Chain A
Amino acid sequence: NAGVTQTPKFQVLKTGQSMTLQCAQDMNHNSMYWYRQDPGMGLRLIYYSASEGTTDKGEVPNGYNVSRLNKREFSLRLESAAPSQTSVYFCASSQDRLATNEKLFFGSGTQLSVL
């Protein structure tokens, strides 16, 4: 059971380039999330998808787009990368966003550097 799988693990971009971070889960979870983690800033929610076909903005959505391709996959796209988007990105999933005892399962992260 792989859990949550993110690709790539590392990426270096030049300012203005675009890229898509891929995430897939095999736990049949309804909800999926993208977080970014910067030193001293904890985990900040970029976008989330409560269920297949729906997406909503989190705390820091500017500069990002997402696609919930199907129940398994949730991708994060940077259309025009900026140095401020240098960060570690984590994808996560959970059974149900509104479940009171819900816990998140995280992928291993993508370390992105924008030069």
Chain B
Amino acid sequence: GQSLEQPSEVTAVEGAIVQINCTYQTSGFYGLSWYQQHDGGAPTFLSYNALDGLEETGRFSSFLSRSDSYGYLLLQELQMKDSASYFCAVRDYNQGGKLIFGQGTELSVKP
């Protein structure tokens, strides 16, 4: 089967940089996605990596290493509004392309 591991919670201060790691196991890997969820609301898409390397979107960047089955989400210049849960997700080709989510990392940004 497939599994994803990410830290359950991370705390950082406003203006800092924080990295949220995700390791995964799948039988057929398509790519790694990241989603943000505020206060139990609708998760929203942040980024997607299919190839090795870093993808940058404003203050957020996402990295993937396929050989290490590892990725991370990097948040720079943290703001209070970045306090949320962050989920990594993988699409398993051998599981009909289903998108499977990790358990989520709760990020708390302190002043």
Contacts and interface: CB of A to CB of B under 8 A. Distances in A.
Contacts of B97: 50, 97-98
Nearest to B43: A106
Interface stretch (B56-64, B68-76, B98-106): B98-106
Interface in A83-114: 88, 90, 97-98, 100-109
Contact of B102 (A42, A56, A102, A107): A42
Interface string A12-46: 00000000000000000000010101001111110
**Which DSSP category, helix, strand, loop or mixed, fits chain B's interface?**
strand
B40 interface: yes
Given A102-B91, A109-B41, A42 B104 contact: yes
Interface extent on A, as a size class? Answer: 20 to 34
A101 B31 contact: yes
Nearest to A41: B103
B45 A103 contact: yes
A43 B43 contact: yes
17 contacts: A37-B40, A42-B101, A43-B43, A43-B87, A50-B97, A58-B98, A59-B100, A88-B40, A90-B42, A90-B43, A97-B98, A100-B31, A102-B91, A103-B33, A106-B44, A107-B42, A108-B42
